[in-house]
């Protein structure tokens, strides 16, 4: 193997760089007097744990496959060209610098529980005294044939960018007569992600498409939302669910409730009743499951591969391994897979580690409900607070916007998001509400998930043949 000479006596091959990174992490831990705490995952749960461990004296290392943390609640705005991907991403090295931790880029491959060592995909190993798993989840296709290959997910920044590029490419083709048929978009799943995406796509069609793509008749662009349950937004009260359904229908979304999907085929979604829905772009937002690699760690796991935890969030059968966020599930007291539970669980897991370090007993995790909210579109949202307050319409939408701006990481991200969303809603009708650029490129592309034939950052899924 050829290596590059960068200075007298200095050689940097890929293997040497991986070994150097692992050695550097070990030296960092050795230099710290406190116990070694490794946090896997830079999402809501992992970052919350980092802040709780700040100033504790522990040698904390954060591991994530990306160098940034993604603010997932706004990914649908990236997918519909209202925000850039950098608006919802924050560098993890900045977080670790502020919290006195260290960042190591990599993906978890194996845990040696006896030796207290985690092994990453780059071959590096990190020793730990305590471990917090907050890896997040991926799409759950429930074994439906074709779902993993014929649909696009929206759980990562790359997913949102790929969906946006696919959407813009399909609109561009039809704008210049490259395809005579209309554009059909189907969203599987009537939770918050599905409702928010469907509402924004409908507004994109009704307001932005006539200005940005005058060659397209908006009436030929169809948005369909399919939900197996009898109502949308299962976590909300019946009035709010019905409000969301009416708002979507007023925006022109075809809402199909109580409808089960049997199979996904090229260009169509086959339903359990024998009918089908034409679909040029199918977005899967019907559920989540643990990544396949989690099931290979030898830890106790339950439904959808999520890690089973005890009352104090320790993984069942383990004394020094905690799990927080969507990847964890309690058999006795499950909580919703939302941002706020992940934040509270990450903080609680870190606090229990500090109690163990101090020789104290761990405490039971109790979730403090701070309310839920979802947006349907411009000036339309639903909010439920634990004190019995329920909001709908413009006031709820302003509350939703304010909370999301507040919880974004980084002042630059907050300002950019405020400016871009304001510009979107003010200029949609004049063609200024669509952000272009920020294309996925092959540079630095990481291997695609097992369930995806080709990396969507490099090769967007090919569209179906035009329908006559």
Active site residues: 196
Which residues face 59 on adjacent strands? 36
Asked if 171 and 281 touch (Cβ cutoff 8 Å), the reply is no
Q: Which runs of consecutive H residues, i.e. helices, occur in 179-315?
A: 192-203, 209-212, 238-250
Q: Is 361 helix (H, G, I), strand (E, B) or coil?
A: coil
Nearest to 199 by CA among 223, 234, 217, 235: 223
Phi-psi category of residue 68: left, alpha or beta, with phi > 0 → left and psi -120 to 50 → alpha? beta
d(CA 179, CA 154): 26
Cα-based distances in Å from 167 to 157, 170, 279, 280: 15, 5, 12, 10
Cα-based distances in Å from 362 to 93, 180, 312, 335, 359: 30, 64, 6, 20, 9
Strand order of the β-sheet with 380-384 is 372-377, 380-384, 390-392
Q: Is 118 helix (H, G, I), strand (E, B) or coil?
A: strand
d(CA 134, CA 75): 19
């Amino acid at each position: 193997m050829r290596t590059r000479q960068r200075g007298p006596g200095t050689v940097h091959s890929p293997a040497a760089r991986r070994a150097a990174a692992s050695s550097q992490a070990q030296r960092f831990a050795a230099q710290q007097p406190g116990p070694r705490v490794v946090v896997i995952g830079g999402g809501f749960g992992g970052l919350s744990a980092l802040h709780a461990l700040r100033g504790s004296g522990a040698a904390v290392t954060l591991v994530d496959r990306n160098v940034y943390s993604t603010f997932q609640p706004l990914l649908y705005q990236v997918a519909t060209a209202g925000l850039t991907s950098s608006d919802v991403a924050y560098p993890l090295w900045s977080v670790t610098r502020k919290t006195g931790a260290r960042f190591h880029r990599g993906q978890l491959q194996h845990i040696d529980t006896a030796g207290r060592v985690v092994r990453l995909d780059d071959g590096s190993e990190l020793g730990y005294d305590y471990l917090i798993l907050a890896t997040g989840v991926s799409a759950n296709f429930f074994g439906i044939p074709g779902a993993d290959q014929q649909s696009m997910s929206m759980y990562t920044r790359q997913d949102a960018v790929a969906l946006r590029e696919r959407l813009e490419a399909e609109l561009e083709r039809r704008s210049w007569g490259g395809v005579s048929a209309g554009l059909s978009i189907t969203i599987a799943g009537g939770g918050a992600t599905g409702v928010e995406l469907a509402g924004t796509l409908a507004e994109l069609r009704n307001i932005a498409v006539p200005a940005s793509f005058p060659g397209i008749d908006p009436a030929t662009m169809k948005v369909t939302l399919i939900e197996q349950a009898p109502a949308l937004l299962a976590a909300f009260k019946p009035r709010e669910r019905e409000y969301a359904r009416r708002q979507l229908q007023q925006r022109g979304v075809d809402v199909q409730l109580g409808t089960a999907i049997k199979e996904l085929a090229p260009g169509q979604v086959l339903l359990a009743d024998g009918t089908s829905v034409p679909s040029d772009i199918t977005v899967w937002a019907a559920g989540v499951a643990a990544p396949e690699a989690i099931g290979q760690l030898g830890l106790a796991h339950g439904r959808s591969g999520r890690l089973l935890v005890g009352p104090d969030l320790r993984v069942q059968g383990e004394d020094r391994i905690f799990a927080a966020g969507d990847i964890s599930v309690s058999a006795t007291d499950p909580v919703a897979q939302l941002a706020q539970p992940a934040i509270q669980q990450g903080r609680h897991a870190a606090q229990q580690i500090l109690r163990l370090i101090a020789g104290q007993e761990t405490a039971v995790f109790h979730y403090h409900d701070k309310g839920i909210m979802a947006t349907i579109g411009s000036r339309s949202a639903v909010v439920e607070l634990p004190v019995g307050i329920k909001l709908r319409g413009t006031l709820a939408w302003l509350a939703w916007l304010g909370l999301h701006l507040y919880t974004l990481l980084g002042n630059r991200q907050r300002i950019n998001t405020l400016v871009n969303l304001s510009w979107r809603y003010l200029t949609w009708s004049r063609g200024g509400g669509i952000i272009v650029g920020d294309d996925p490129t092959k540079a630095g592309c990481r291997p695609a998930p097992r369930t995806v034939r080709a990396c969507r950052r490099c090769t967007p899924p090919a569209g179906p043949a035009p329908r006559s």
